[in-house]
Structure 1
Amino acid sequence: MFLIYLIDRFFQFYYYLVIARVVLSWVQPPTHHQTMRKIIAFIYQATEPVLGPIQEMMPSLGGIDFSPIIVLMALQIVRNGAIQLLLYLF
């Protein structure tokens, strides 16, 4: 059951990273602090492998990027599937 807990926490963490990237695209965060620059760089580096390919496949509809919504839904589906599989196996 600890493995299920870890998987759940990982997906929750990644979910929040995607949300943070969306918020960062709306506001101009203060980048004059070295720590803030590192946090922003981490968020972009962690989410780009998932968001990037989806952004390339989807056209921008009126300047609105819907790729985060698709990623968040896909994360929930994969998370639920992984947990159900582990519950079935154990």
Structure 2
Amino acid sequence: MKEGAVGLAIIQTLLYALGIYKFIVIGAIIFSWLYAFNVVNNSNQFVAMLGSFFYKATEPVLRPIRRFIPDLGGIDISPIVLFVIIYFVEQIIVNVLAPAIV
């Protein structure tokens, strides 16, 4: 296998992982809305486990972003900022790293 092929496989895997993480963030957003409006049963063990997963998967990334964003009166735009950061990282990978490997 050529070195360039291995590099492209790594790049594609990184892009795939970022895509999966975007879906996890979307799931966390939807779950937070459902939880806030009491649509889901708060005492259900599966709901608690799902909420714990979303919190542990997204909070370490969203917490530093929230420190730099001013308070907007209860509206959390940190996921939007995270999506912009992920898009920026994807563009760096595709436009800078991929051509350097090929």
Q: For this structure pair, what is the TM-score category when the shorter chain's length is used for normalisation?
A: 0.7 to 0.9
TM-score normalised by the chain length of structure 1: 0.82
Q: Measure the CA separation in 2 of the matches of 1:31 and 1:85.
A: 45
Question: % of aligned pairs identical?
Answer: 31
Q: For the pair shown, which has the larger CA radius of gyration, 1 or 2?
A: 2
SS class of match (1:27): helix
Q: Measure the CA separation in 1 of the matches of 2:47 and 2:95.
A: 37
**Partner in structure 1 of residue 84 of structure 2:** 73
Q: Provide the aligned C-alpha RMSD in A.
A: 1.8
Instruction: Return closer, same or farther for 1:36/1:25 CA change in 2, 3 Å cut-off.
Output: closer
Moved over 6 A (4+): none
Q: State the number of aligned residues.
A: 90
**Partner in structure 2 of residue 46 of structure 1:** 57
Point out where structure 2 has 5 or more consecutive residues left out of the alignment. 1-7
- Structure 1 residue 53, shift from structure 2 partner: 1.1
Point out where structure 1 has 5 or more consecutive residues left out of the alignment. none
